[in-house]
Amino acid sequence: MNPPLLDVRDLSISFETEEGRLDAVIGSSFKLDPGKTLAIVGESGSGKSVTALALTRLLPEPPARFVSGEILWKGADVLKMTPRQLRKIRGGEIAYIFQEPSTSLNPVHTIRSQIAEAIRLHRPEVSDIDAEVVKWLDAVGIVNPAQRMRDYPHQLSGGMQQRAMIAMALSCQPDLLVADEPTTALDVTIQAQILDQLRELRERLGMAVILITHNFAIIRGLCDQVAVMFRGRIVEFGSSEEVLSRPQHPYTRALIDCIPKLGAGHKRLHTIDYAAIERAL
Ligand SMILES: Nc1ncnc2c1ncn2[C@@H]1O[C@H](COP(=O)(O)OP(=O)(O)OP(=O)(O)O)[C@@H](O)[C@H]1O
Ligand SMILES: [Mg+2]
């Protein structure tokens, strides 16, 4: 048996803040096999982004501190890697896309020059860089890519910027794409289009994906596994089928109850009843 691509064991991360120590991630464990998709779901502040950034040590240390645990990437502990090893992994092996394209796209450079730089850095063997840029813009559904690549980010719509960011991440051919709330800033139709495209590309490229979301409804059909985070802890981890059909934790049940039922119309708007969760814990 090959080791999993990613094996996070008993990970705890805290922050030193003015109000004292904040335990953002507490004893987190999960695994991901090559080519598989994991959803990390949970409310705001539950530790999803901190977990994602920790994978390549992108958290500012301090205030962040790794209290315990291991992050095994292809069998090697990220927490013991040298800065040089980490640079190789970031972008090249583990790529990120964020909710806000502005966190990845630089406003003063064209789309072409930004994707080209990523390719040069992580895939020095590529000789025709423009052709490669066009290929990835086309792959994410940007029409007329040879012309669009000469645009600056502000010349593209929000959805197109998001696609350009995905193209940049994919152009490095990562083994793992971490998508942190990639579509929540977009309208629902464009969200669905981009998620569809991600699904198709994941299958074609055979890469693993970690999809971070508030939205339980998009997991079905898109993710193999689900980790549910609640106040810094992974309270549930399993195949999405298992978790959706037999949720164990009261918070997961509450989340599932919030998924709008097909054909149910908009009569009832569910909200999460935290007091009921506390009572059930
Ligand atoms: N740089 C930081 N300094 C101090 N505290 C931080 C820092 N980054 C995150 N935190 C804290 O860690 C906790 C987890 O934050 P995290 O960003 O992982 O939440 P999240 O689950 O991604 O939430 P959201 O759904 O709103 O994005 C929060 O309490 C947050 O305030
Ligand atoms: Mg977050």
92-145 pLDDT per residue, tens: 899 998 877 777 888 999 999 999 999 998 899 999 999 999 999 998 889 999
pLDDT of 159 > 90? The answer is no
Ion ligand 2 residue ranges (Cβ < 5 Å): 48-49
* Contacts with 115 (C-beta within 8 Å, 6 or more apart), sequence order: 133, 136, 137, 149, 164, 167, 168, 171
**pLDDT for 1:** 66
- Extract long-range pairs of 215-220: CB within 8 Å, 24+ residues apart: 215/41, 215/184, 216/41, 216/255, 216/256, 216/258, 216/259, 217/259, 217/260, 218/191, 219/39, 219/41, 219/244, 220/244
**pLDDT for 263:** 52
pTM of the model: 0.88
**pLDDT for 269:** 53
267 CA → ligand 2 middle, Å = 30
135 part of a folded domain: yes
128 part of a folded domain: yes
46 CA → ligand 2 middle, Å = 8
**pLDDT for 192:** 76
**pLDDT for 109:** 94
Task: Report the C-alpha dihedral over residues 111, 127, 175, 115, rounded to 10 degrees.
Answer: -10
129 CA → ligand 1 middle, Å = 37
Same domain, 11 and 76: yes
Measured by CA distance, the residue closest to atom 11 of ligand 1 is 24
Ligand 1 mutation target, pool 12, 16, 26, 49, most atoms within 8 A of CB: 49
Same domain, 10 and 108: no
Among 140, 173, 206, residue at a domain's last position = 173
249 part of a folded domain: no
Same domain, 89 and 182: yes
Same domain, 3 and 74: yes
pLDDT in tens, 49-60: 999 999 999 999
pLDDT of 237 > 90? The answer is yes
14 CA → ligand 1 middle, Å = 10
Q: What is the CATH number of the domain that holds 238?
A: 3.40.50.300
Q: Which residues line ligand 1 (CB under 6 A)?
A: 15, 17, 22, 24, 42, 44-50, 60, 63, 214
% of the chain beyond a pLDDT of 90: 57
Q: Is the dihedral of CA 167, 172, 177, 179 positive or negative?
A: negative
Full residue range of the structural domain in which residue 141 is found? 101-173
**pLDDT for 270:** 59
Same domain, 143 and 153: yes
- 114: closest CA among 61, 172, 59? 172
53 part of a folded domain: yes
Phi/psi of residue 211, nearest 5 degrees: -110, 115
**pLDDT for 89:** 93
**pLDDT for 21:** 94
Same domain, 72 and 183: yes
22 part of a folded domain: yes
Looking at the structure of the chain, the number of domains it has is: 2
264 part of a folded domain: no
